[in-house]
Amino acid sequence: MPRFGKRSKEQLATCHADLQRVANHAIKHIDFTVTEGHRGKEAQNAAFAKGFSKVRWPNGNHNSKPSRAFDFVPYPFNGNWKDKTLIPRLKKIGAQLKASAADLAIKVSYGGDWKSFKDYPHLELDQ
């Protein structure tokens, strides 16, 4: 059975307890790494500048403490964001995260479902 490594555990520790519950349920079914939970001012504004986020600090769900969002990648991940198999793999993880949230009666939004800005490696709590 897959399990989280040190990096994922550290990032998850910065997240809202409900997101931690969702991730810990999902890891039982699919292997992935949590790459980012809470995002500070510099990191948020850098993500905005690079086009990875649509909001500046402090308006992102990553910016609260605890974080109301986390980002993820498949495990293993070779770092190639242009790999043609990446989006389908992220969608599969997103589907499992949504299913895990439903099992736990936790309302989430998956960035791959958004209409205007596809954010495939992102999950957040509904407002």
Residue pLDDT, tens place only, 33-44: 999 999 999 999
Q: Is 106 exposed, middle or buried (0-12, 13-18, 19+ CB in 10 A)?
A: middle
pLDDT of residue 55: 96
Name residues of the chain where pLDDT drops below 70: none
Alpha helices (runs of H) in the chain, residue ranges in sequence order: 6-12, 17-26, 41-49, 86-103
The pTM assigned to this predicted structure is 0.96
Delimit the domains of the chain by residue range: 6-125
pLDDT of residue 127: 77
Fold held by 6-125: Muramoyl-pentapeptide Carboxypeptidase; domain 2 (3.30.1380)
Q: Assess contact for 54 and 83: CB atoms under 8 A.
A: no
Round to whole Å and give the CA distance between 99 and 5. Answer: 22
